[in-house]
């Protein structure tokens, strides 16, 4: 059974981990949602998912949790779960969930991974990005300036139309500091995951900003 481990030594199988990740993201959570419980019962080990490509794994989780029929807030949670499953299956760990980085105020990323050289690789997961892309680009600039210029910042988007718009913004240099974007069910997502697999990740908790206990901002590291 593939396991993920929290820094506080709480260990769980990833079947239970889907629920745990969601409950840590929101005090309201989805722990009693039948769709999530059914998925956990049917997929007790994420290695048992037949799909091989990361994009196909993400699509399997998205469809299995019936994301399209859920309200927007729930779809966002499901999307984070899709990416968490892919990162764990590909052993792109350790990673932090829903955390910021010290020195960069008022911003958090869905996934933060830290590297040997003191830089970070971050992912913002968005069902739809709308106008938030400008804020994400500014955060990427701050990440490279305040932490390490070798840091990498990516956006993964579910909405195909908005993903195409984001690519055009990056190609035209309207977006200056983000290192790339990907539509989650496409080959470009597979390419992004392959590039992340090539990074040497280490746990550097001193740069991670989880927020105050009252904020319940984020958690990690999660390890495969």
Domain count within the chain: 2
Predicted local distance difference test score (pLDDT) of residue 137: 95
Q: CB neighbours (10 Å) of residue 223? A: 17
Mean pLDDT, the chain cut into blocks of 10 residues (224 residues total): 37 42 45 61 74 95 87 84 90 91 92 96 92 92 97 96 93 94 97 97 93 66 80
Same domain, 157 and 198: yes
Predicted local distance difference test score (pLDDT) of residue 224: 72
Q: Angle at Cα 99 formed by Cα 63 and Cα 108, nearest 5°?
A: 85
Are 36 and 22 a contacting pair, CB within 8 Å? Answer: yes
Are 81 and 65 a contacting pair, CB within 8 Å? Answer: yes
Same domain, 199 and 179: yes
Sign (positive or negative) of CA dihedral 157, 162, 167, 170: negative
The last residue of one of the domains, among 55, 89, 123, is: 89
Predicted local distance difference test score (pLDDT) of residue 76: 87
Q: List C-alpha distances in Å: 141 to 127, 136, 175, 206.
A: 23, 9, 10, 20
Residue identified by tokens 């195909």 is 160
Same domain, 115 and 205: yes
Q: pTM, whole model, 2 decimals?
A: 0.85
Q: Which domain holds residue 154?
A: 95-222
């Amino acid at each position: 059974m593939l396991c993920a481990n929290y820094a506080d030594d709480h260990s769980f199988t990833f079947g239970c981990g889907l629920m745990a990740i969601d409950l840590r993201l929101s005090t309201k959570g989805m722990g009693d949602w039948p769709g999530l419980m059914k998925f956990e019962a049917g997929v007790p080990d994420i290695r048992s998912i037949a799909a091989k490509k990361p994009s196909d794994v993400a699509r399997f989780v998205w469809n299995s949790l019936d994301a399209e029929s859920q309200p927007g807030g729930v779809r966002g949670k499901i999307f984070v779960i899709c990416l968490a499953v892919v990162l764990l299956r590909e052993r792109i760990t350790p990673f932090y969930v829903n955390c910021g980085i010290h020195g960069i105020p008022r911003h958090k990323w869905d996934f933060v991974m830290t590297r040997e050289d003191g830089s970070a690789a971050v992912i913002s997961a968005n069902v739809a990005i709308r106008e938030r892309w400008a804020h994400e680009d500014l955060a990427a600039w701050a990440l490279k300036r305040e932490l390490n210029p070798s840091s990498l910042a990516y956006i993964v988007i579910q909405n195909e139309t908005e993903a195409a718009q984001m690519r055009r913004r990056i190609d035209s240099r309207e977006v200056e500091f983000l290192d790339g974007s990907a539509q989650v069910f496409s080959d470009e997502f597979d390419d992004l995951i392959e590039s992340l697999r090539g990074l040497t990740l280490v746990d550097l908790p001193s740069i991670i900003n989880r927020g105050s206990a009252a904020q319940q901002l984020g958690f990690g590291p999660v390890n495969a």
